[in-house]
Amino acid sequence: DAKTTQPPSMDCAEGRAANLPCNHSTISGNEYVYWYRQIHSQGPQYIIHGLKNNETNEMASLIITEDRKSSTLILPHATLRDTAVYYCIVRDYMTTDSWGKFQFGAGTQVVVTP
Amino acid sequence: EAQVTQNPRYLITVTGKKLTVTCSQNMNHEYMSWYRQDPGLGLRQIYYSMNVEVTDKGDVPEGYKVSRKEKRNFPLILESPSPNQTSLYFCASGQRAGNTIYFGEGSWLTVV
């Protein structure tokens, strides 16, 4: 069963913020939320991850709800190069077996338009 | 430069002819993994390795073998390839205690 649910697609205007939602209602206390993206058929690229607190880096911000059942990835100023499939992944950092099984879902196809 | 290198990048082969896709990383990572990506099915994990001589099955291991004799290398072996193994393959690596995994550029494999 999928651990995360994401919308299949969304559009965003260039220069505007893109807010990508992810539901992970069955997340456990040991599971981090990760975001990766894949541009066309390139290897997926790490964006950001978090456990409880909101996180920000040079690429994006991650907002996790207080109950941890959902999160939002924010690309503050989307560019055409941000067009990609974005994956939300939950991953257990305590159990070796879960840690090793880094599982991708279907992701959200984001199209940034001029 | 930190890299995960896969070879070959593109290959067309015939059914039943054994082939190996190599994966090498220069970051001294303990963890390595193989994925395949097919239209409509996303990225699916084939095998992973937490360290030298330690390998485990992912979600779709049938028809594949792996070995981890050295830390830097994690080859994917198709003993008798079949057309349903036509796919885009990715190798990945990461620190065992780390949070980020790095992907190679992918290997396009066609079995006819």
Going residue by residue through chain B, which has 112 residues, state the pLDDT in tens, using 9 for 90 and above.
Answer: 779 999 999 999 999 999 999 999 999 999 999 999 998 888 999 999 999 999 999 999 999 999 999 999 999 999 999 999 999 999 999 987 667 889 999 999 999 9
CB contact under 8 A, B99 and A42: no
Residue B55 CA to residue A45 CA, distance in Å, equals: 24
CB contact under 8 A, A101 and B48: yes
Minimal C-alpha gap between B1 and chain A (Å): 16
* CB neighbourhood size of B48 (10 A): 26
Sequence-ordered strand ranges (E) for B26-106: 31-38, 42-51, 54-57, 65-66, 76-78, 87-94, 101-103
Mutate to test the interface with A, among B99, B102, B107, B109 (most CBs of A within 10 A): B99
Contact A73, A57 (CB under 8 A): no
3-state secondary structure of A80: helix
Q: Which residues of A touch B48 (CB under 8 A)?
A: 100-102
At A96 the pLDDT is 65
Residues of B with a Cβ under 8 Å from any A Cβ are 4, 31, 33, 35, 37, 42-45, 48, 50, 56, 58-59, 88, 90, 92, 99-106
Neighbour-count burial of B11, counting CB atoms closer than 10 A to its CB (0-12 exposed, 13-18 middle, 19+ buried): middle
At A31 the pLDDT is 87
At B55 the pLDDT is 95
Q: Which residues of chain A fall short of a pLDDT of 50?
A: none
CB contact under 8 A, B50 and A96: yes
Strand partners, B76: B21, B66
At A28 the pLDDT is 87
* CB neighbourhood size of B76 (10 A): 23
Please state, in angstroms and as integers, the Cα–Cα distance from residue B22 to each residue in A38, A71, B35, B74, following that order.
22, 36, 13, 7
Residue listed under structure tokens 């969304």: A10
